[in-house]
Amino acid sequence: MSIQKFSLEALKKVRRYVQDALSLADTERQPQTWAALDDSDELPEPESLDDLSGVFTFGGLSAEDLSIPHLRTNWFLSTVNPAAALIKLPGLRLKPALRLVSYLYRAEKDGVGLVFAVPEALSTTAQLEKALVESGNLSQPPRPEGALASFMEAIEGDRSPASFMIASLLRRELQDFGALGQQCNWSHHRLIDAVPPQAQWQWKVEQPPKDFSPKVRVLPDGQAAVEFFTCRVINPVSIYRHLDQYPMGQYRASSLDRAIAVIQR
């Protein structure tokens, strides 16, 4: 049984890389739909002749626009390929014949995203858009045909300590993919390796941890445990302990994310 610790800077670097790989285009981040415009909205005055073309096209949707999913429904198929985040991540890879696909939901200032793992044969745009027919509001998300129970079931790797730590960060970034406004969760967490000193903390555990460094323990039978800590920077400002347990031969973990301290006011 061995324990390997990781530097905070290494984790931050991995996180930034994954976030960059999952970044949304402006039109997917906060798309403006024709239906969202009030009757009282006025068209902006053109500042030049070049702007006149926009005035005339603004009066209606082109055939091309009508083919864009998010102009017709709150759920739409995203152009982001979540598997792109795996290209340079050491120790992890996508299983053969599987694909990661993503959907987005947008409603005014809020939004969420969903990532699914599906068989390659069912990952065409036509197949994935079929799931949109049955989707509705936020509580009625699409689910493509053949989707695995968890997108982490599509991940395999070399079972190294680093691969488990990276898998824990990757899963949380994918779960928070596309989140906007009140739907954001993981994006409010900052990785830490020590108690932030600029505040007084009220501990919710009997014995505060002595070591806040990110670490992985790999057991002889192939099971693994990951532990790291974050500070949530929105109210209630809290220190979180994250514990992931990986069974043999899998990168789908059972997780416990627990607030162990809150800031004293």
Per-residue pLDDT at 34: 38
Q: Which residues have C-beta within 8 Å of that of residue 94, sequence separation ≥ 6? A: 83, 86, 100, 154, 155, 156
From the number of C-beta atoms within 10 Å of its C-beta (0-12, 13-18, 19+), residue 221 rates as exposed
pLDDT at 162: 98
pLDDT in tens, 98-154: 999 999 999 877 899 999 999 999 999 999 999 999 888 888 999 999 999 999 999
Give pLDDT, residue 204.
97
pLDDT over threshold 50, residue 67: no
Measure Cα distances from 170 to 89, 128, 232 in Å: 9, 23, 18
Average pLDDT over residues 52-66: 41
CB 231 within 8 A of CB 238: yes
Identify the residue with better confidence: 67 or 23.
Answer: 23
**231 forms bridges with which residues in the sheet?**
190, 239
Whether 46 has a pLDDT exceeding 90, the answer reads no
Of 9-18, 25-34, 176-185, give the lowest mean pLDDT range: 25-34
Nearest to 144 by CA among 126, 171, 169, 165: 126
pLDDT grade, residue 31 (50/70/90)? low
Average pLDDT of the segment spanning 36-58: 46
- Quick check: 155 and 95 in contact, CB under 8 A? yes
Whole-angstrom Cα distance, residue 55 to residue 44? 8
Q: How confident is the model at residue 195 (pLDDT cuts 50, 70, 90)?
A: very high
Question: Mean pLDDT throughout 59-74?
Answer: 47
On whether the CB atoms of residues 208 and 108 are closer than 8 A, the answer is no
Q: Is pLDDT above 80 for 214?
A: yes
The arithmetic mean of pLDDT across residues 155-168, rounded, is 98
Which ranges of 160-216 does DSSP label H, i.e. alpha helix?
161-175
Query: 223-238: per-residue pLDDT in tens?
Result: 999 999 999 999 999 9
